A and B are shown apart, each in its own frame.
Chain A
Amino acid sequence: MIEEIGTTEQGDLIINVGPQHPATHGVLHLVITLNGETIKKIEPHLGYIHRSIEKMCESLTYRQFIYTTSRMDYLSSHINNHGCALLVEKGLQIEVPPRAQVIRILMDELTRIASHILWWGAMAMDLGAMTPYFHAFRERELINDIMEETCGARLTMNYQVPGGVMADIHPNFQRRVKDIIKQLYKKLPEYDELVTGNTIFKARTQGIGYLSKEDAISYGVTGPSARASGVSCDIRKLYPYEGYEKLNFQEVMHTGCDTYSRYLVRMIEIRESISILEQLVDNIPEGDYQAKTKAVLKLPKGEFYTRVETARGELGVYVVSEGGTTPYRIKFRSPGFSNLCALDHMTRGQKIGDMVAIMGSLDLVIPDIDR
C-alpha cells in the first residue's frame, strides 16, 4: 500500500507525500526521490479516488450518464456536462435553441471564473498566505448563489441536458450576473495588490517549474498551464462550439513558461470571462430553453468525439455506440491527467519546497485525474 521511507542504492532519500496531504488538493500519492533537498524524481500514484465513472456510464442511459460527470471535475461541472450534452446532440443531430446556447455559455464562463478564483485562493494558501482564501470564497459564494437560484444546486448542478438546459433562468439571473461583474471589477485589483505584485509570492514562483513549449506539447498539457508556455490550445478558439466563434475574446497566452506566468494567465482569463459575460448578459435571445427530444435517446452505431475547454484544459468525450440506449464504451480525456504527467519533468532539479508551488500552479483536481 504505502511504501515506507527508505533510501536508494545511491543514498537518495525516498519520501511519500500523500495520499492524505493538504498540498495535494485531494488524495494524490507522490513518491519523491530526494538528493538532499533537490528532487531527482517524482512518481505519482493514482487511484485513491478511482470511482470507475467510465465503467458506470456504460450502464447508464444517454440522459443519465451526464450526471456522473459533474462529480468528475467538480470545479467546472457545468463544462463537463456541456461536453457530454454536446456529444449526444452531435450523435442525434439535435439543434440547440439559441437561448439555450447563450445560457450555456454564460453558465460555463461563470463556472470558469468561480474555478479560477478558488484556485487563486488555494494557490496562495499553498504558499502560506491564509487571507486570500477568505477573499476568494467571498466572491465564489456570490457565483454559487446565482447557480443555486437557477439550477437548484451550488456545486454539482447537472443543469445542461441533451437539447438545451434543464430549466429557464431565474428572473433575477441577469441582475445578479451584472452585480457579480461589478463586484469582480472592484475586487480584482485588490487581488492583484494582495498577491500578484507581492514580493514574497514573486520570489517563490518566478523562474521555477519551467515547462518549455516543446515539452508542453509532448506531454499533452492543455489549458492555462500550456498557454503559459506559449502553446495555443484554447478549444473555444480552435474548435469553437455553441457560438463561441461569434464572441469577441482573447486567447490568453504567455511565454514565461514558469509558475508565475501560469498564475498570470489564469488571472487574465478571469477578465476575459468577464468580458464574455458582459457581451451576452443583455443579449439573451427569447425562445425555448430546450429543444424537443425523444423520451428515449438512442445514438446511431459508430464512434463520437467532442471536446470542450474546461477551467483546466481540454476535456474530450469519446463514445462508442452500438445503437442502444447506453454507450458501449466511454472514455474521458481529462485535462488533469495529462497536466499531472508533466509534473515529474517540471520538478526535476528543483527544491522540494518549490514542489508545492509547481503542483499548485497546475491546478489539479484529483477526481478528474482518477475518474
Chain B
Amino acid sequence: MSTEQQPIQFPGHVIDTPGGGILSGPIDDVINWARSNSLWPLTFATSCCAIEMMSTAAAKYDFSRFGFEVYRATPRQADVIIIAGTIVNKMAPVLKRLYDQMGEPKYVIAMGACATSGGPFFYNTYSVVKGADHVIPVDVYVAGCPPRPEALLHALITLQEKIKAGTKRERIDIDGNKIIDKR
C-alpha cells in the first residue's frame, strides 16, 4: 500500500472554452461526490463506543475535516447511523425504526466489536443481538473494543470512497422482495 495521498478526483473532465470551461461527466458521479462529502451522522450511541465517537468529534481528531460535522438528533435529517455500542433485544426494534425513518440514501457503520458481532458479549448472554447486521444492513464494520478514533475516521473515509465509487447494494423492501439499490 502506498502511503501517498491520492489527490481528490472531481468526477468528469473539463472541456476548455474561451473564458473558462465546461464540466462534462455523468450526473450520478457528481451527485455521489457531493453526497460523500456531507454525511450527517445521527446521534445514536448505546454504550462505551459513544465516548470514542465523541472523542472523534472533539478537537484532537475533529472529523468535521471530512464533512461529518453536523450531528443530527433526528433520523429524518441524518444520512449515516454510527452504531456505537451493543444492540440488545429490546433496542433492536428501536434501531430498525430509526433506520426506517431515515431518508434515502442512508448508510450504516457498525462501530466496535459489539455492533459487528456481539463482541465480548457473544457468549453466555441471553439478551445481546449478535451483530447489528441481524437488524439492519451495514456498510462498514470497525473492529476494536472500543475502536480508536483513528479507526472510526478510517471507517468514515472508507464509506466516502464506497459512495464515490457508486457501490450498489442488494436490499430487501418492506414486503420481503429483493431490490437493487438504484443510488
Q: Does B associate with A?
A: yes
Residues of B near A154 (CB, < 8 A) are: 52, 55, 146, 148
Rounded to whole angstroms, the CA-CA distance of A167 and B146 in the bound complex is: 21
A296 within 8 A of B: no
The answer to whether B58 touches A27, judged by C-beta atoms less than 8 angstroms apart, is no
> Which residues of chain A are near B50, meaning CB under 8 Å?
26
A1 to B95, CA, bound (A): 12
Asked whether A71 and B48 contact (CB < 8 A) given A20-B98, A27-B91, A50-B88, the answer is: yes
| A311 CB within 8 Å of chain B | no
Q: How far is the CB of B43 from chain A (nearest CB, A)?
A: 5
Q: Total interface residues on B, using CB and 8 Å?
A: 37
Indicate whether A51 sits within 8 Å of B128 (C-beta atoms), given known contacts A21-B73, A27-B91. yes
Number of interface residues of A (CB under 8 A): 37
Which residues from A are CB-within-8-Å of B54?
A: 118, 133, 137
Q: Mark A65-91, 1 if CB is under 8 A from B, else 0.
A: 001100100110000000000000000
User: Contact mask A4-35 → B, CB, 8 Å, 1/0?
Assistant: 00000000000000011110001100000000
Interface of B is mostly: loop
Q: B60 to A49, Cβ gap below 8 A?
A: no
Bound state CA distance, A155 and B52, in angstroms?
8
Taking CB atoms, residues of chain B closer than 8 Å to A74 are 47-48, 51
A26: which B residues are within 8 A, CB to CB? 45-47, 50
B54 to chain A, nearest CB (A): 7
Cβ of A243 to closest chain B Cβ, rounded Å = 29
Known: A51-B86, A56-B121. A20 touches B127 (CB 8 A): no
Provide the bound-state CA to CA distance between A156 and B48, in Å.
Answer: 8
How far is A301 from B59 in the complex, measured between Cα atoms in Å?
Answer: 51
Per the 8 Å Cβ criterion, residues 71-108 of B in contact with A are 73, 75, 85-86, 88, 90-91, 93-94, 97-98
Q: Is the CB of A22 within 8 A of B73?
A: yes
Flag whether A59 is at the interface (Cβ < 8 A): yes
CB distance from A34 to the nearest CB of B (A): 20
A138:B90 contact, CB within 8 angstroms: no
The distance in angstroms between the C-alpha atoms of A358 and B43, with both chains bound, is: 21
Tell whether A48 pairs with B90 under 8 Å between CB atoms, given A71-B48, A133-B58, A134-B58.
yes
- Judged by a CB distance under 8 angstroms, whether A60 is at the interface is yes
Q: How far is the CA of A26 from the CA of B145 in the complex (A)?
A: 18
Residue B177, interface by CB 8 Å: no
| Cα A110 to Cα B29 with chains together (Å) | 49
> B12 on the interface (CB 8 Å rule)?
no
Q: Are B59 and A51 in contact (CB under 8 A)?
A: no
Task: Decide if B93 touches A1 in the complex (CB within 8 Å).
Answer: yes
Contact indicator A49/B46 (Cβ below 8 Å): yes
B86 touches A1 (CB 8 A): no
Q: Beta-carbon contacts of A43-60 to B below 8 Å, as 1s and 0s?
A: 000011111100110111
14 A-B residue pairs with Cβ-Cβ distance under 8 Å, sorted by A, are: A1-B94, A21-B73, A26-B47, A49-B85, A49-B88, A51-B47, A52-B126, A56-B124, A137-B55, A141-B58, A141-B60, A156-B48, A367-B48, A367-B85
Which 8 A-B residue pairs are closest in the complex by CB-CB distance? A137-B58, A74-B48, A59-B124, A52-B125, A56-B124, A367-B47, A48-B91, A52-B127
List 6 additional contacts besides A137-B60, A138-B59, A155-B52; criterion CB under 8 Å. A27-B94, A47-B88, A49-B47, A50-B127, A51-B88, A56-B121
